[in-house]
Structure 1
Amino acid sequence: MSGYEMIMVGTDGSESSFAAVESAARLAATCGAGLVIVCAYDPMEGSELVRAQDRLGTEAYQVVGSAPAESGLRIAADRARAQGAEQVRTTAVQGEPVAVLTRAARKHSADLLVVGNRGLRSLAGRILGSVPADIARKARLDVLIVHTT
């Protein structure tokens, strides 16, 4: 089997997701693969937005719109390049993370999808589902779940 040619990694702007980006970037550098960093976001409006921002704190970009997601993507790209990845692209896509990541993987012809393990072992993750678990079940490509928590 040859190495991966296009690696995709999801980020939500958290330190945990940046650790996944760095792992994906090291692998991309080793394989000489391209790296696509994807951030899903879901904007809200009005009082719903205010309540969500209060609860989400530093992760509020997920409900505000793409501008904060773009900022997180710039940080992620810088961290990826610092790990040796040379061909780095970023994209912010409105929608639910699992659907966004699986669609983006097809669009970018990714042959590996990397996600962090945050939420995998939580009670909420067991009851409601978690991004890494759902990606592992639904993606039609290799999935690497890296330890980031």
Structure 2
Amino acid sequence: MSDYNKIVVGTDGSKSSLLAVERAAKMAAAFDATLIIGCAYYENKEEASKTLRQDSVTILGDDKAKANLSAGREHAEKFGVKSIETAVRPGTPVQALMAIVNEFGADLLVVGNRGINSLTGRLLGSVPADVARQSDCDVMIVHTVN
């Protein structure tokens, strides 16, 4: 097993995404890694309406995204992580997560499984499946929803 030094996890503020944050935080604590919690947002309703899939919470504006990051950080701190950073990026969840992974040089990306088994996810793709295909680092898909 390789060591992970930088672990990225995405959150949209939902209960299921906080389960992914929890798993990533536990791994970051175990590896003494930096945890980077990321959140995507749409700059306006027009941008949000361009996305074909609705497998994640639509976040308009970076204020809501920053609030989600704050909640994610607070949750992650409960699991003994020594180093936590946050990153907010405009765009789809996939675009934002890939930008954060590349910018921070992450070794591991942790995402929840929301959307992966839905009809829309099967037809159009899902955030977990799309990041797994696009990522240059390891991807862990956490079982967060049935």
User: Scaled by the length of structure 2, what TM-score is found?
Assistant: 0.88
Whole-Å Cα distance in 2 between the matches of residues 121 and 96 of structure 1? 19
Aligned partners of 2:36, 2:86: CA distance in 1, in Å?
6
The answer to whether structure 1 residue 105 and structure 2 residue 101 are counterparts is: yes
Q: Which has the larger radius of gyration?
A: 1
Percent identity over paired residues:
47
Q: Which consecutive aligned stretches of 4+ in structure 1 deviate over 4 angstroms post-superposition?
A: none
Q: Cα RMSD between the aligned structures?
A: 1.8
Q: Distance in 2 between matches of 1:20 and 1:2?
A: 20
Does 2:53 correspond to 1:71?
no
Go from structure 1 to structure 2 and tell me whether the alpha carbon gap of 1:132 and 1:81 turns closer, same or farther (over 3 Å shift). Answer: same
TM normalised by structure 1 equals 0.87
Task: In structure 2, give the amino acid aligned to 1:135.
Answer: V
Which is richer in helix? 1
Aligned residues: 138
- Partner of 2:142 in structure 1? 146
Q: Distance in 2 between matches of 1:2 and 1:17?
A: 25
Match of 2:111?
115
CA displacement, residues 1-51 of structure 1 (integer Å, 9 cap, x when unaligned): 541000000111111111000000000000000000000111225xx69x9
Q: Which SS does the other structure have where 1:89 is aligned?
A: strand
The answer (yes or no) to whether the contact 2:12–2:39 under 8 Å persists in 1 is yes
Partner of 2:84: 88
Q: Match for 2:93: what amino acid?
A: P
Residue identity matched to 1:31:
F
In the alignment, structure 1 segments of 5+ residues that lack a partner are none
Residue correspondence of structure 1 range 13-28 to structure 2 within 5 A: 13-28=13-28
Secondary structure of the structure 1 residue equivalent to 2:115: coil
